[in-house]
Amino acid sequence: MSTPQSDMSPLFKARLGGFCWLVCFGTSGFAMSIATKLIVARDPAATAANLLASETLYQASTAALLISGAFYIGATFFVYEVLKPVNRPVSQLAAIFSLVGCAIGALACLFDVVPFILLKGTHFAAVFAIEQLQALTLMFLNVRAQANNIGLVFFGLHCFGVGYLIYRSTFLPRAIGALMMFAGVGWLTFVYPPLANSLAPFNMIPGGIGELSLTLWLLVKGVNVLRWREQASAADSAESLMAPAAHFQSAS
C-alpha cells in the first residue's frame, strides 16, 4: 500500500517544475525589459551612452538571465522526472536539448562584459576612435543576440518534445501538450533569424501561452497521481520485458 508521501511525490516534482518555470518567466522578462530599454538598434552612440549611464542595471539584467538559466535547468529536471514514464528516451532527448540551450545562454552572457571593457578601457581609447568603440560595442551585442537565437532553437526542440510527451500522457491535459508543441514550433523559427524577425511577435506568442499554461497547471493542479502511477508501472513492466530480449540479442 502506498504511503501519503509517495502519493505526493509526483505532485511535488510537478509543482517544483512549475515553480522553477515561473521564476524563469519573471527573471527573463525583467532582463528582456532592460535590454529593450538600453539597446538601440542601429544606433551605436545611443546604446553606448545608455549602457554607461545604467551599468548596474544592465549587470542586474545579466544576473537575472543567469538565474533564469539556473531555474530552467531545475524545471528541465523536474519536468523530465514527471514525463519519463511516457517515453524515457524522448524525455531524455528533450532534456538534453534544454541543457544545451541553457549552456548557450550562459556562454552568451560573457558578451555582456565586453561593452564595458571597450567603452571604459583607456588603452582602447588610445587606439580606436570613440565611434569605432561604440560600433564594436553594438557588434558584440548583436553577436550575443545571435547566440540567444541559437539557444531559442534548442529551447524550441525542448518545448516540442515536452508537448509531445504531455499529449501522449494520461495524467496531463492534451490541450497543454498541443500548446507546448505550438510553442516549440514558434521558437524553432529562430533557426532562420530573418524569418523569426518577420514573424515577430506572433511567433513568440505561442511560446508564452504554451509555457505559461504548463507552468500554471503544474503549480495549481500538478498531475493526476493515480494515472501517473499507472503509466509509470506500465512503463516499468515494458522495460523489464524488453531487458531479457536485449540481453539475449547481445549474447547471441
pLDDT in tens, 142-195: 999 999 999 999 999 999 999 999 999 999 999 999 999 999 999 999 999 899
The DSSP-derived string for 147-210 is HHHHHHHHHHHHHHHHHHHHHH-SSS-HHHHHHHHHHHHHHHGGGSHHHHHHHTTTTTHHHHHH
**Quick one: pLDDT at residue 60?**
96
**Quick one: pLDDT at residue 5?**
42
Q: How confident is the model at residue 7 (pLDDT cuts 50, 70, 90)?
A: very low
86 contacts: CB under 8 Å, gap ≥ 6: 165, 166, 168, 169, 231, 235
Residue 106 and residue 65: Cα distance in Å, rounded?
A: 8
Which triple of cell numbers denotes residue 129?
576612435
Q: Name the domain count of the chain.
A: 1
Containing structural domain, residue 40: 10-224
DSSP state of 41: T
The predicted model scores a pTM of: 0.88
Q: What is the dihedral of CA 173, 174, 180, 185, to 10 degrees?
A: -170
Residue 40 and residue 175: Cα distance in Å, rounded?
A: 39
**Quick one: pLDDT at residue 212?**
94
**Quick one: pLDDT at residue 238?**
74
Query: Looking at the predicted structure, is the pLDDT value of residue 243 above 90?
Result: no
Cα atoms found within 13 Å of the Cα of residue 154, Cβ hemisphere only: 18
Q: How confident is the model at residue 9 (pLDDT cuts 50, 70, 90)?
A: confident
Q: In percent, how much of the chain has pLDDT > 90?
A: 80
Query: Looking at the predicted structure, is the pLDDT value of residue 246 above 70?
Result: no
**Quick one: pLDDT at residue 124?**
82
Considering the domain boundaries, does residue 247 fall inside one? no
Tell me which H or E stretch contains 17. helix 4-38
Q: Residue 42, Cβ neighbours under 10 Å: how many?
A: 7
pLDDT in tens, 206-218: 888 999 999 999 9
Tell me which of 125-129, 172-176, 187-191, 247-251 is least confident. 247-251
Considering the domain boundaries, does residue 3 fall inside one? no
Tell me which H or E stretch contains 82. helix 55-83
Query: Looking at the predicted structure, is the pLDDT value of residue 11 above 80?
Result: yes
Which triple of cell numbers denotes residue 57?
542595471
CA dist 206 to 4, 63, 139, Å?
Answer: 37, 26, 30
Q: How confident is the model at residue 247 (pLDDT cuts 50, 70, 90)?
A: very low
Considering the domain boundaries, does residue 36 fall inside one? yes
Considering the domain boundaries, does residue 233 fall inside one? no
Exposed, middle or buried: residue 6 (CB in 10 Å: 0-12, 13-18, 19+)?
exposed
Catalogue the E-assigned strands of the chain.
none
Considering the domain boundaries, does residue 248 fall inside one? no
Considering the domain boundaries, does residue 239 fall inside one? no
Amino acid identity of 22?
L
Considering the domain boundaries, does residue 242 fall inside one? no
Considering the domain boundaries, does residue 244 fall inside one? no
Q: Helices 44-53 & 4-38, crossing angle to 10 degrees?
A: 120
Residue 133 and residue 127: Cα distance in Å, rounded?
A: 10
